[in-house]
Amino acid sequence: MLFEQVSDWYSLIYEVCETCEAPELGPKVRAEFSSMRMTDCLGIAYQSKRLIRLSRPLWPYAGEIDRAEVIAHETCHIIDDYLNGTAPPHGESWKDLMCMAGFAPDCYHKVNTRLAKLDAQRRREARAVRRKKVSRPVQAKCLCQTHHISKNRAGRIRKGACYFCQRCGHQVFLLGVSLPTFS
């Protein structure tokens, strides 16, 4: 199994539930990919929701065995909660379920998270560059010079605010708007 398709995930979830004597739980467990920010762990189980969230950034770096272990690991957390109620996250009952399912009861995956974090950082930076808009100053004029003002200040002038030049003391008006005549 490649565990790239959702059907592969559910096959393993059903198999683990059946092996761990909770076959009725298999159809109730859901699995989905996380957001792009989940870069520390390969999977997380939400027992009350019966939901397994898998790391979208780390998934490509995980091998077939790692993916199977993570799905089984998180499924066993949900089964443990279902059969035993609130229990320690990696307690004896969870370890027994992992062994019953045919997996080592390891708490941590072996996937290199550093590469995924670097990729995520690069994506965030690229997105920030794309989103960053170059703010062009708006031109305004008084009697002595042309001023470059921000879009916010120009908006306030349009709404009736008054700004005065520090050099000549006269009111600053937006260019393109009819200037009043000074006498």
Domains of the chain, residue spans: 6-127, 138-174
Q: How many CA atoms lie within 13 A of 113 on its CB side?
A: 12
Strand, helix or coil for residue 43: strand
Query: pLDDT tens digits, residue range 47-80?
Result: 999 999 998 888 888 888 889 999 999 999 999 9
- CATH fold, domain 6-127, is Zincin-like (3.30.2010)
Query: pLDDT tens digits, residue range 81-119?
Result: 999 988 788 999 999 999 999 999 988 888 888 887 888
pLDDT of 145 strictly over 90: yes
pLDDT of 21 strictly over 90: yes
Find, among 103, 115, 15, the residue nearest to 55 by Cα. Answer: 115
Q: How many angstroms separate the CA atoms of 108 and 142, rounded? A: 67
pTM given for the model: 0.65
Give the position of tokens 């996250």: 89
Find, among 4, 62, 54, 58, the residue nearest to 34 by Cα. Answer: 54
